């Protein structure tokens, strides 16, 4: 067992870890200015796209506030974007839409060099910074409410999606805590609540998703059957009960996610619907390959055991030793070092005696 101080300290460490997993504020702002520039280029007066009122907006973890730093520091942050054009699906094919966005991007000498085509999107590779995945999309007039249709090279039919709707649902799942945290943050910044941007607020749900994803990234590094982020995010948001404490939130989320019976439909098939579109099953692949749900469960079990072991540690170095291998030495070390100044410590000047023959300093 552990004491309430231990728990409080552990929550703080988890908070610090997820803080260092966040995309740094400077990079966040830079990413926005980069994609706004892309938007301007697509919508310029001489652009063929101009008449279709192109807009660019973020989707996925960048929008949700659940980004995690890549495990390998040399890897770039992935930023998922939607490039939305006002075109009726009857007036354009998937291939035409993809091509239209691609050829406009290629007209820009800078983008041309960075551009790669993917199955669904165009990727701009900002070396050492970001990968920007630009997903061409048109409105789904049958559904409205921000529903979009997207292209997929391998599939004949338009694919449906709703990133804005999903983000609204995700925020709803943590609404109560979100408002509280935002007010608290405004107070600490001595600002009005309206002036605090949403992206500065992080709830235990967002933090938990970051920690889950990070543990997954380390656990499945170079291994198969890695669970996809959207499944983790969706199940975590379902399981979250607006706990105010990160440790409580994380444990109840892990427990909630572990029961896979909850996510089977009447035929016993895995069914994790997109909350904004019941036709989209995020767990489609799980029904084709039983190794996927198996790997998911065994990963969650490992995560739970890892956290159980870590919280029982008596001191910070024990916590450091148990968390570093599962979440990354750098982020854990930094998170624990941040706690140190809080603890008043008299500076020690250890007695040092040398046992080797001294080397004479030199200079080239």
Partner 1 sequence: MSTDENKDKLIMEHFNQLQSVFSDLRLDKNGKGKFIVAGNLSFTCSHDGKTIKDDYDIEMLIPDDYPQRPPTVKETASRIPRDKDNHVYPSDGTLCLGAPLAAKRTFAQERNLLWFAREQVVRFLFSHSYKREYGIMPFGKLTHGPEGIMEYYKELFSVQDDWHVLGLLKILADDNYRGHTLCPCDSGQKLRYCHGDLLREIKEYQKPTDFLTEHLSIFKFLDGKNNAPDNVGEYIPQKVLKYKKNRKRKPILKRRKSGK
**What is the distance between the alpha carbons of residues 62 and 68, in angstroms, rounded to a whole number?**
9
φ and ψ of 355, to 5 deg: -120, 0
**Smallest gap, in angstroms, from Cβ of residue 361 to partner 1?**
4
Residue 267 is a binding residue for partner 1 (CB under 8 A):
no
Q: Which of 144, 146, 120 is nearest to 133 (CA)?
A: 120
Per DSSP, the residues of 286-340 read GGT-THHHHHHHHHHHHHHHHHHHHHT-SSHHHHHHHHHHHH-HHHHHHHHHHHG
**Smallest gap, in angstroms, from Cβ of residue 339 to partner 1?**
11
**Smallest gap, in angstroms, from Cβ of residue 351 to partner 1?**
5
**Smallest gap, in angstroms, from Cβ of residue 309 to partner 1?**
16
Residue 127 is a binding residue for partner 1 (CB under 8 A):
no
The site for partner 1, by CB under 8 A, has a size of 32
**What is the distance between the alpha carbons of residues 14 and 206, in angstroms, rounded to a whole number?**
12
Among 26, 74, 91, 192, the residue binding partner 1 under the rule CB under 8 A is 74
User: Which residues does 172 contact at the CB level (< 8 Å), separation at least 6?
Assistant: none
Binding residues for partner 1 restricted to 324-343, rule: CB under 8 A: 324-325, 328-330, 333-334, 336-337
Residue 47 is a binding residue for partner 1 (CB under 8 A):
no
Residue 353 is a binding residue for partner 1 (CB under 8 A):
yes
Contact segment (CB under 8 A) with partner 1 among 129-137, 203-211, 297-305, 320-328 equals 320-328
Contact segment (CB under 8 A) with partner 1 among 82-90, 102-110, 297-305, 317-325 equals 317-325
Residue 51 is a binding residue for partner 1 (CB under 8 A):
no
Residue 358 is a binding residue for partner 1 (CB under 8 A):
yes
Among 3, 72, 266, 346, the residue binding partner 1 under the rule CB under 8 A is 72
233: its two tokens: 């995010």
Compare residues 1 and 348 and give the one whose CB is closer to partner 1.
348
Residue 344 is a binding residue for partner 1 (CB under 8 A):
no
**Smallest gap, in angstroms, from Cβ of residue 231 to partner 1?**
26
Give me the residue label for tokens 């609404």: 175
Helix axes 246-258, 204-219, angle to 10 degrees: 60
Residue 356 is a binding residue for partner 1 (CB under 8 A):
yes
**Strand, coil or helix: what is 213?**
helix
Q: DSSP code of 166?
A: H
**Smallest gap, in angstroms, from Cβ of residue 270 to partner 1?**
31
**Strand, coil or helix: what is 130?**
strand
Among 1, 144, 157, 352, the residue binding partner 1 under the rule CB under 8 A is 352
Task: Give the distance from CA 340 to its chain's centroid.
Answer: 28
Residue 355 is a binding residue for partner 1 (CB under 8 A):
yes
Contact segment (CB under 8 A) with partner 1 among 9-17, 97-105, 249-257, 316-324 equals 316-324
User: Which residues does 201 contact at the CB level (< 8 Å), separation at least 6?
Assistant: 65, 178, 181, 182, 185
User: Which residues does 38 contact at the CB level (< 8 Å), separation at least 6?
Assistant: 56, 81, 83, 105, 111, 124, 132, 134
Q: Please give the residue ranges that form the binding site for partner 1 (CB under 8 A).
A: 72-74, 317, 321, 324-325, 328-330, 333-334, 336-337, 347-364
């Amino acid at each position: 067992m552990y004491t309430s101080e231990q728990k409080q300290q552990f929550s703080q460490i988890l908070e610090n870890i997820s803080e260092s997993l966040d995309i740094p504020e400077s990079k966040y702002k830079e990413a926005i200015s980069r994609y706004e520039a892309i938007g301007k280029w697509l919508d310029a007066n001489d652009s063929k796209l101009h008449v279709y009122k192109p807009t660019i907006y973020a989707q996925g973890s960048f929008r949700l506030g659940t980004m995690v730093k890549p495990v390998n520091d040399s890897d770039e942050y992935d930023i998922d974007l939607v490039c939305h054009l006002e075109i009726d699906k009857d007036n354009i094919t998937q291939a035409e839409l993809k091509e239209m966005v691609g050829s406009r991007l290629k007209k820009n000498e800078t983008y041309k060099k960075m551009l790669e085509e993917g199955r669904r999107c165009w990727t701009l590779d900002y070396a050492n910074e970001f990968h920007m995945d630009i997903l061409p999309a048109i409105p789904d007039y049958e559904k409205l409410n921000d529903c979009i249709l997207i292209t997929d090279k391998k599939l004949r039919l338009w694919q449906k999606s709703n990133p804005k709707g999903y983000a609204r649902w995700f925020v709803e799942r943590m609404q109560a805590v979100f408002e509280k945290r935002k007010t608290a943050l405004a107070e600490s910044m001595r600002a009005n609540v309206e002036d605090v941007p949403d992206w500065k607020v992080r709830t235990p749900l967002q933090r938990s998703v970051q920690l889950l994803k990070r543990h997954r990234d380390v656990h499945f590094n170079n291994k198969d059957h890695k669970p996809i982020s959207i499944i983790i995010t969706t199940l975590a948001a379902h399981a979250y009960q607006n706990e105010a404490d990160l440790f409580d939130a994380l444990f109840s989320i892990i427990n909630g996610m572990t029961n896979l019976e909850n996510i089977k439909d009447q035929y016993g098939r895995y069914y994790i619907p997109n909350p904004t579109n019941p036709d989209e099953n995020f767990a489609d692949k799980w029904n084709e390959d039983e190794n996927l749900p198996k790997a998911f469960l065994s990963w969650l079990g490992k995560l739970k055991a890892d956290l159980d072991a870590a919280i029982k540690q008596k001191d910070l170095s024990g916590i450091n030793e148990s968390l570093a291998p599962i979440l990354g030495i750098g982020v854990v070390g930094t998170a624990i070092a941040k706690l140190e100044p809080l603890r008043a410590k008299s500076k020690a000047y250890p007695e040092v005696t040398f046992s080797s023959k001294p080397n004479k300093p030199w200079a080239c």
